[in-house]
Amino acid sequence: MISKKLQDAINAQINKELFSEYLYISMQAWFANQNLDGFATWMDAQGKEERFHAMKFFNYLIERGGKVELKALEGPTVDFKNPLAIFKAALKHEQFISKSINDLMELAIKEKDHSARGLLQWYVDEQVEEEANVDKIVHHLEMVKDDPHAIFMLDNQLGTRVFTPPA
Ligand code: MG
Distance of CA 127 from the midpoint of ligand 1 (Å): 7
Distance of CA 148 from the midpoint of ligand 1 (Å): 31
Distance of CA 97 from the midpoint of ligand 1 (Å): 7
Separation CA 46–CA 40 (nearest Å): 10
Please report the pLDDT score of residue 105 as a whole number.
Answer: 98
Question: Maximum distance among all alpha carbons in the chain?
Answer: 56
Please report the pLDDT score of residue 1 as a whole number.
Answer: 87
Residue among 61, 47, 45 at smallest CA distance from 17: 47
Separation CA 124–CA 140 (nearest Å): 25
Distance of CA 147 from the midpoint of ligand 1 (Å): 31
Please report the pLDDT score of residue 75 as a whole number.
Answer: 97
Please report the pLDDT score of residue 100 as a whole number.
Answer: 98
Residue among 27, 31, 1 at smallest CA distance from 113: 1
Please report the pLDDT score of residue 166 as a whole number.
Answer: 86
Question: pTM for the complete prediction?
Answer: 0.96
Please report the pLDDT score of residue 167 as a whole number.
Answer: 80
Please report the pLDDT score of residue 42 as a whole number.
Answer: 98
Please report the pLDDT score of residue 161 as a whole number.
Answer: 95
In the chain, which residues have pLDDT < 70? none
Please report the pLDDT score of residue 146 as a whole number.
Answer: 85
Please report the pLDDT score of residue 139 as a whole number.
Answer: 98
Distance of CA 107 from the midpoint of ligand 1 (Å): 18
Distance of CA 138 from the midpoint of ligand 1 (Å): 18
Distance of CA 47 from the midpoint of ligand 1 (Å): 9
Distance of CA 112 from the midpoint of ligand 1 (Å): 24
Residue among 123, 32, 126 at smallest CA distance from 86: 32
Distance of CA 143 from the midpoint of ligand 1 (Å): 27
